[in-house]
Copies of this chain bind each other. A is one copy, B any other.
């Protein structure tokens, strides 16, 4: 049973159906097709705002393209020190931006500490924007009020929403309230970790940024000529609230796992569990025994040598969670 990551899972049946039919007929290439236009319309409705949408095959592409468009090469981008853009993307943001600086900011539970943030902004040569991951890498959340505090810095705001759906269902805030109404100019809207088979969307709320982003998109090789491969997935993902249903389920499975773990001695939750990611402290031999029983999950060096990460997905079942809990106990 696989708790390694939400990206080891496959896709929702609705996505599979869309992919099966995606190759029918001829279509204008490079995103000038009707499906991509419909995805744009869906996002405009979801966000209650005019948007431009760029489908991408990875969150790394989404983040790096967005941030490169929001900062000059001499600017500083502020993010949590455990943000994906800082720890996991091999300097994609520095690359796409032509050498902008990513400034890590500390803070508990994977969330940016606002006092630290203000200090770093004050000392940076050219402060340019903030990148906020919501839900965070640590499986925690920023509330509408916290998003408002970012907006108060007056710096442009990027939201890394690899798990944006999980944040929306967990906070019960509207997508608009977690983005452009709180100063967000561009959102990396994740699909891959939540039921698509490799399709995320860059959602641009400020029209003047979209023109430059379009050029960066093309010259980075991310503008697929047969865009429908990505667009059909996104269309299905936004249809009948599949994106929200999937996230609601993944979060519920995480809560079930969290509640179960809380009752086990010798196994400790490291962070609050607000979305679909859990960090657990347990002895190495316990972890090893679990792995031998066929449970799969990752060790997590950020939290030390006895820390482990479990992720629940859109298709994790109650049975799998309960089996894992039984095995842990």
Residues of B within 8 A of A126 (CB): 90, 215
Q: How far is the CA of A199 from the CA of B82 in the complex (A)?
A: 32
Contact of A58 among B62, B225, B302 (CB under 8 A): B225
Residues of B close to A123: CB separation below 8 A: 87, 301-302
The answer to whether B20 and A229 have CB atoms under 8 Å apart is no
Nearest CB to that of A316 among chain B residues?
Answer: B26
Q: Tell me whether B221 and A220 are in contact (CB under 8 A).
A: yes
Specify the chain B residue showing the minimal Cβ separation from A94.
Answer: B99
Q: How many copies does the complex hold?
A: 4
Q: Verify B58–A74 contact, CB threshold 8 A.
A: no
Report chain B residues within 8 Å CB of A101. 86, 91, 94, 102
CB of A91 within 8 A of CB of B219, answer yes
Question: Does A60 touch B at the CB level, under 8 Å?
Answer: yes
Residue with the highest number of chain B CB atoms closer than 10 Å, among A60, A76, A219:
A219
Q: Is the CB of B27 within 8 A of A74?
A: no
A171 beta carbon closer than 8 Å to chain B:
no
User: Which of B23, B88, B122, B198 contacts A15, CB < 8 Å?
Assistant: B23
Answer yes or no: A89 CB below 8 A from chain B CBs. yes
A57 within 8 A of B: yes
B-contact 0/1 string along A138-164, CB 8 Å cutoff? 000000000000000000000000000
What B residues does A89 contact at CB under 8 A?
A: 125, 218-219, 221
Among B2, B23, B65, B218, the residue within 8 A (CB) of A19 is B23
Binds B, one of A6-14, A243-251, A281-289: A6-14
A10: which of B24, B72, B99, B122 is its contact (CB, 8 Å)? B24
A224 sits at the interface (CB 8 A): yes
For A266, the chain B residues whose CB sits under 8 A away are none
Say if the beta carbon of A98 comes within 8 Å of chain B.
Answer: yes
Please state if A198 and B215 are interface contacts (CB–CB under 8 Å): no
Known contacts A16-B22, A24-B10, A102-B101: does B95 contact A219 (CB below 8 Å)? Answer: yes
Select A197's contact among B5, B90, B192, B229, beta carbons within 8 Å. Answer: B229
Query: Which residue of chain B has its CB nearest to the CB of A227?
Result: B198
A221 to B61, CA, bound (A): 4
> A309 within 8 Å of B by Cβ?
no
Chain B residues within an 8 Å CB radius of A75: 91
Binary CB contact string for chain A from 292 to 316 against chain B (1 if under 8 A, 0 otherwise): 0000000001100000000000000
Residue of B nearest to A195 (CB): B23
Residues in B with CB closer than 8 Å to A19 are 19-20, 22-23
Contacts of A227 in B (CB 8 A): 198
Asked whether, in the complex, the Cβ of B104 is within 8 Å of the Cβ of A99, the reply is no
Q: Is the CB of B10 within 8 A of A221?
A: no
Please, what's the 1-or-0 string for A78-119, where 1 marks a CB less than 8 Å from any CB in chain B? 000000001111111011011111111000000000000000
Across the A-B interface, the 6 shortest Cβ-Cβ residue pairs: A61-B221, A11-B23, A20-B20, A10-B23, A90-B219, A94-B99
Chain A interface residues (CB < 8 Å from chain B): 2, 4-5, 7-12, 15-17, 19-29, 56-62, 64-65, 72-76, 86-92, 94-95, 97-104, 122-126, 192, 197-198, 215-216, 218-230, 301-302
